[in-house]
Amino acid sequence: MKNLNQLPQNPLAGLKDIHLPPQPGWWPPALGWWLVAILLLAILIFMLRAWRRRQARLRPIKLALKELKALDFTVSDANQRQLLLQQVSALMRRFSLTFFQDKEVADLCGQPWLNFLCENSGTVDRVALRKTFAPLLLGPYAPTCEVDLRALEEAVADWFKNLRRQKFKPTSASHKNQPAGKGDIS
């Protein structure tokens, strides 16, 4: 017989305690995190490619400035001055052929070459620049040439440095056949 005073035994007493599932791990990430990672990777690749293109575009400018600094602009002898003007002119022409990647730059000489240099200088005062660059046309071939070598050095260095800030399209044949006009050096 059952004792009525005795409490019934708890039917759940024999069960084990509740076990919670383990905390979710960080791997594998959810789909949203994969998309964010792919987007960040794409942005990083794009920025790296843009930086490398910019460095490749600036490399000729840096090399030209380095070569320009290696030239001695303190010469006083007329023959050395002619040689210096030849070297500066050759440097600018070599650079232009590399940087602008236009075969028509190679054909430019005389006033069209001077026009090309002034148009691509990025400066506003092209008349003063034209006077500064004018000795590059005839100076290497003239027996005597009066030129301010310091002003020429600064103008050429500025010409190279201003190319960093500008975006160029390849030059066109319009430079080749421009008539000598206002402000041209004769």
Say how far residue 164 (Cα) sits from the centre of its chain: 6
> Closest by alpha carbon to 98, among 160, 177, 173?
160
Q: Give the pLDDT band of residue 168 (cuts 50, 70, 90).
A: low
pLDDT tops 90 at residue 6: no
Rg (CA), the chain: 37
Give the residue-averaged pLDDT of 17-23: 88
Residue 65 in this model has a pLDDT that exceeds 90:
yes
**Measured between alpha carbons, how far is residue 3 from residues 10, 21, 41, 53 in Å?**
16, 42, 76, 94
On the question of pLDDT at 15 being above 70, the answer is yes
Query: What is the rounded CA–CA span in Å between residue 40 and residue 27?
Result: 19
Q: Output the pLDDT for position 175.
A: 44
Q: What is the pLDDT of residue 47?
A: 98
Residue 78 has pLDDT above 80, yes or no: yes
Give the per-residue pLDDT at 172.
45
- Position 109 scores a pLDDT of 86
**Mean pLDDT of all residues belonging to the chain:** 82
C-alpha dist (Å) from residue 5 to 2, 8, 10, 11, 13: 9, 9, 15, 18, 20
Most confident of 42-51, 69-78, 154-163, 169-178: 42-51
- Report the range of poorest mean pLDDT among 43-57, 122-136, 166-180: 166-180
**pLDDT-wise least confident of 3-12, 33-42, 172-181:** 172-181
pLDDT digits (tens, 9 = 90+) for 129-144: 899 999 988 877 777 7
Which tokens in the block code for residue 75? Answer: 């010469």
* For range 18-42, the mean pLDDT: 92
pLDDT at 105 over 50: yes
